[in-house]
Amino acid sequence: MTQAIATQDPIITSDSATFTKLVSKEGGTEYDLLPINICEETFAPLEVAYDYDKIRHQVSRETIAAGPNSIWRYRPFLPVATDNVIDVGTGMTPLVKSTRLARRLGLKNLYIKNDAVNMPTLSFKDRVVSVALSRAREFGFSTVSCASTGNLANSTAAIAAHAGLECCVFIPSDLEAGKVLGTLIYNPTVMAVKGNYDQVNRLCSEVANTYGWGFVNINLRPYYSEGSKTLGFEVAEQLGWKLPDHIVAPIASGSLFTKIYKGFQEFVKVGLVQDKPVRCSGAQAEGCSPVAQAFKDGRDFIAPVKPNTIAKSIAIGNPADGVYALELAHKTGGNIESATDAEIIEGIKLLAETEGIFTETAGGTTIAVLKKLVEAGKIDPDETTVVYITGNGLKTQEAVQGYISEPLTIEAKLDSFERAWERAQTLERLDWQQVLV
């Protein structure tokens, strides 16, 4: 067995650091800023606490705008003690004002936060991993790891490679080929576990307790999850230092969903934006929707489920922050909805055809839920609504295979092209007739 901390002098905090302690989400017991994630008394998750007066003195709209073009422009809000952070250009992804999707759905002020193009591995996970591994280095971990549904393994492997850290990741053995290859290319050790994510996660908790490794989403989880706040910060800044009226985001463990809101609240707390209500609505795949189910049933607890959906990146049957996601939707007047696999595929295609953005199954889920909420009158057409697209479609190509058209193979001759073009026009007309029937 190795020690929990690899070097003799872990950097736990510094004079300029704005984060002060870890606090239990149930009962409020305080802990030192160590690589721990569970309250010993209540078994609740631990969360990073900050000195907001200190942050207020360190930041202004101007200092942020003059900062790096990455999540590190919000450095005082992130739990890293030194300036020696891993900056691989993560964050500051486009916030796109939607025209064609908005019109299709009947919305007037729809924005798309496009983390399908986040750096370096094309999902929002690069945010949380950039923070977690920066913190892991301060603790002196030489080997980093994660329990992943796919995107987290990509991020951990890539950013560990950049930082020169040893890396061993754990994934369920049935992941999409693009997610597996997109991890292996960075040459970490990859453990493909015969089981679902929840089983992978349980195994990793045991490994984390035995080996002295930094697991980004286990013993480093309090630091890791803070990275998701940047999805709130960026949207507020990109809207011209204003909060939106309504957000729609996917829920797997519920961490991303709840931290976007924490980000909004922190900007209010330090006076960077004006306070106003923000409704938070969550999206799950029907084949793994323990939080949406609890919302529909009016329960305040989560009944774990066994995942069965094409949306593997958000297939967590026993979500660690599920109750907090549920609470947030209730508290803010939002909703939590689910989408079937067929609706998820339609969602992927709808976003691609109307906005030119190719998202993965998690994004398809979010778009499908956005559409449902609009149709049910749960999103007002005038509300400034931000939909979060968290991953890239090139990684989950098998999800849409068989649901998109084939290329028309032709000879390298004009008449061959002309016949094919005529056929294509006819097919399109037939398509339209079907729609009209």
- Binding residues for ligand PLP (CB under 6 A): 123-125, 149, 151, 250-257, 313-314, 360, 362, 390-391
In whole angstroms, the minimum distance from the beta carbon of 116 to ligand PLP comes to 9
In whole angstroms, the minimum distance from the beta carbon of 403 to ligand PLP comes to 19
In whole angstroms, the minimum distance from the beta carbon of 241 to ligand PLP comes to 25
Q: Which is nearer to ligand PLP, 109 or 148 (CB)?
A: 148
Q: Which is nearer to ligand PLP, 128 or 272 (CB)?
A: 128
In whole angstroms, the minimum distance from the beta carbon of 395 to ligand PLP comes to 9
| Three-class DSSP category at 84 | coil
d(CA 212, CA 2): 5
Buried b / exposed e across 170-209, counting CB within 10 Å, b at 16+? Answer: bbbeebbebbbebbeebebebbebeebbbebbeebeebbe
In whole angstroms, the minimum distance from the beta carbon of 246 to ligand PLP comes to 18
Q: Which is nearer to ligand PLP, 81 or 291 (CB)?
A: 291
Q: Which is nearer to ligand PLP, 244 or 282 (CB)?
A: 282
Residue 205 CA from chain centroid, whole number: 21
In whole angstroms, the minimum distance from the beta carbon of 254 to ligand PLP comes to 5
Q: Which positions ≥6 away from 229 have C-beta within 8 Å?
A: 74, 77, 78, 259, 260, 262, 263, 266
Place of tokens 């004002």: 97
Q: Which is nearer to ligand PLP, 149 or 385 (CB)?
A: 149
DSSP labels, 100-161? HHHHHHT-SEEEEEEGGG-TTTSBTHHHHHHHHHHHHHHHT-SEEEEE-SSHHHHHHHHHHH
Buried b / exposed e across 122-152, counting CB within 10 Å, b at 16+? Answer: bbbbbbbbbbbbbbbbbbbbebbbbbbbbbb
Instruction: Enumerate the β-bridge partners of residue 264.
Output: none
Q: Which is nearer to ligand PLP, 64 or 135 (CB)?
A: 135
In whole angstroms, the minimum distance from the beta carbon of 390 to ligand PLP comes to 3
* Side-chain-facing half-sphere of 102: CA atoms under 13 Å: 18
If we measure between CA atoms, which residue out of 219, 201, 217, 222 comes closest to residue 209?
219
> Is the separation of the CB atoms in 374 and 105 below 8 Å?
yes
Q: How many CB atoms lie within 10 A of CB 58?
A: 14
d(CA 171, CA 194): 9
Which residue's C-beta sits nearest to ligand PLP? 391
Instruction: Enumerate the β-bridge partners of residue 339.
Output: 285
Q: Which is nearer to ligand PLP, 188 or 254 (CB)?
A: 254
Q: Which is nearer to ligand PLP, 79 or 212 (CB)?
A: 79
Q: Which is nearer to ligand PLP, 168 or 171 (CB)?
A: 171
| Three-class DSSP category at 359 | strand
In whole angstroms, the minimum distance from the beta carbon of 319 to ligand PLP comes to 7
In whole angstroms, the minimum distance from the beta carbon of 124 to ligand PLP comes to 6
> Is the separation of the CB atoms in 251 and 286 below 8 Å?
no
